[in-house]
């Protein structure tokens, strides 16, 4: 498997890349405004860099890489560090960190740009004289203000992305589901075992932290196997795949077993912290849905179709059938036989459906 075909790498790349694009677009916009204000002339050559094509290309590349670096730090580290803070606390704390970071970047890149402008080496005395003038000039202050604005916009994007979901945000921006579309999708309804008694035992606040840890532990497997979280409904998670993504290498089935394994590895932590290790059951089904934007006071990407009702009812049959995972005949017929065995569970009547549905319990081999 190549790096770019790795689902986890592609997921993080899709989350980090917009930071570089945001910084690049904002830098071009700010440069255009400043150039128009000065009538495209360098009115302070002793402190400002004269824009040539070489300088423009260097600055664009530097800004894009700075944005990518910020995105990587935000997604892979700092965003997780402040995940339990309020939205505005996150903004303020991160602004302080990134401003210090950008100050260092600014002080490093200016001499390089000055040496390109002057056509000399970075050790040239003229380069450092210009650098000295720049540090004590209004240009330095305006540059830091521009950087602070870019940081704020990036953090605003990051916060909205975290709350809406990255894929949902991209779909809104692209207008992909502005008009309803018919799609074939795999759905997994995943429900925690004994959640009612557990919530009563732990109490509301502790149970909330328990759910947060539970969801976090499942997220890596969902990313790895190309799933998308459609909804969190109490202790239930609805995961969905486009048909091809869900069927490829049995991703939808492998995701279930990977989530189960992830919880097993963390069982000691859950038992020591909460007195119990969580487990779950899941029902899966494949079918047609209509996908589109819906809502008057709050917009969201919405799936509608019989497939969701059927998946929910299949999931509820896991307990009486004493199975951790049950899938429909429609999904079973699309799975390739290699590396998976299907245990027939018989034709079962589902509430609201006239025809019985044949169900199976998949086992990875």
Where does the chain have alpha helices with state H?
Answer: 7-37, 53-73, 79-81, 87-118, 125-135, 138-164, 166-174, 195-202, 204-224, 243-247, 251-265, 267-274, 306-316, 318-321, 329-334
Predicted pLDDT at 270:
92
Judging by beta carbons within 10 Å of its beta carbon (0-12, 13-18, 19+), is residue 91 exposed, middle or buried?
Answer: middle
From the CA atom positions of the chain, what is the Rg in Å?
26
| Residue 108: Cβ-neighbour burial (10 angstroms; 0-12, 13-18, 19+) | exposed
| Ranges in the chain, pLDDT < 70 | 1-5, 37-50, 84-87, 162-178, 295-299, 352
- Indicate the fold that domain 178-364 takes in CATH: Alpha-Beta Plaits (3.30.70)
CA distance 339 to 2: 22
Tell me, what's the pLDDT at 166? Answer: 62
- Read off the pTM: 0.72
Residue of 251, 252, 271, 253 whose CA lies nearest to 263: 271
CA–CA gap between residue 158 and residue 81 (Å, rounded): 14
Instruction: Tell me the angle at which helices 138-164 and 53-73 cross, rounded to the nearest 10 degrees.
Output: 40
Tell me the pLDDT tens digit for each residue of 150-167: 888 888 888 777 666 666
pLDDT at 258: 94
Task: Return the pLDDT at 171.
Answer: 62
Interatomic CA distance for residues 192 and 281, integer angstroms: 6
Tell me the two tokens of residue 208: 């909330």
φ and ψ at residue 154, rounded to 5 degrees: -65, -45
- In this structure, what are the phi and psi dihedrals at residue 337, rounded to the nearest 5 degrees? -70, -20
The reported pLDDT for the residue numbered 323 is 93
Please state whether beta strands 181-192 and 280-294 pair in parallel, antiparallel, or not at all (unpaired): antiparallel
DSSP string, 101-137: HHHHHHHHHHHHHHHHHHTS-TT-HHHHHHHHHHHTS
Long-range contacts at 158-166 (CB < 8 A, ≥ 24 apart): 158/19, 158/74, 158/75, 158/79, 159/87, 159/90, 159/91, 161/15, 161/18, 162/79, 165/228, 165/229, 166/14, 166/15
What is the per-residue pLDDT for 264?
92
What does the DSSP assignment read for 236-265?
EEEEEEEHHHHHGGGHHHHHHHHHHHHHHH
pLDDT of res. 31 = 79
Contacts of 67 (CB under 8 A, 6+ apart): 19, 20, 21, 22, 23, 24, 150, 154
The pLDDT of residue 196 = 83
Span(s) in the chain for CATH 3.30.70.1230: 178-364
Of 208, 168, 191, the closest CA to residue 84 belongs to 208
Distance, in Å, from the CA atom of 51 to the CA atom of 34, rounded to the nearest integer, reads 11
């Amino acid at each position: 498997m190549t790096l770019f075909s790795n689902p986890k790498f592609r997921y993080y790349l899709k989350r980090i890349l917009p930071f570089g694009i945001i910084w690049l677009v904002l830098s071009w916009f700010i440069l255009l405004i400043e150039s128009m204000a000065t009538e495209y002339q360098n009115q302070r050559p002793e402190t400002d860099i004269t824009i040539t094509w070489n300088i423009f290309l260097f600055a664009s590349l530097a800004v894009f890489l700075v944005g990518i670096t910020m995105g990587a730090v935000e997604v892979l580290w700092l965003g997780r560090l402040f995940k339990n803070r309020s939205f505005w606390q996150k903004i303020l704390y991160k602004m302080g960190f990134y401003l210090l970071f950008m100050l260092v970047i600014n002080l490093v890149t200016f001499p390089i740009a000055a040496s390109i402008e002057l056509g000399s080496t970075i050790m040239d005395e003229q380069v450092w004289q210009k650098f000295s003038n720049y540090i004590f000039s209004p240009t330095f202050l305006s540059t830091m203000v521009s950087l602070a604005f870019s940081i704020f916009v990036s953090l605003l994007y990051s916060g909205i992305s975290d709350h809406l979901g990255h894929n949902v945000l991209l779909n809104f921006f692209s207008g992909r589901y502005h008009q309803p579309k018919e799609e074939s999708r795999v759905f997994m309804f995943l429900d925690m075992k004994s959640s009612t008694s557990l919530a009563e035992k732990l109490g509301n606040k502790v149970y909330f932290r328990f759910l947060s840890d539970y969801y976090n532990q499942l997220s890596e497997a969902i990313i790895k196997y190309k799933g998308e979280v459609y909804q969190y409904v109490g202790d239930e998670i609805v995961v969905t795949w486009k048909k091809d993504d869900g069927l490829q290498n049995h991703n939808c089935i492998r995701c279930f077993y990977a989530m189960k394994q992830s919880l097993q590895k963390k069982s000691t932590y859950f038992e020591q912290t909460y007195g119990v290790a969580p487990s779950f059951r899941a029902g899966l089904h494949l079918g047609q849905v209509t996908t589109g934007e819906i809502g008057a006071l709050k917009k969201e990407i919405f799936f509608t179709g019989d497939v969701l009702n059927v998946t929910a009812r299949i999931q509820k049959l896991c307990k009486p059938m004493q199975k951790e995972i049950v899938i429909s005949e429609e999904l079973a017929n699309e799975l390739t036989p290699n590396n998976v065995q299907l245990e027939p569970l018989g034709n079962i009547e589902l509430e609201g459906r006239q025809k019985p549905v044949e169900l199976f319990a998949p086992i990875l081999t």
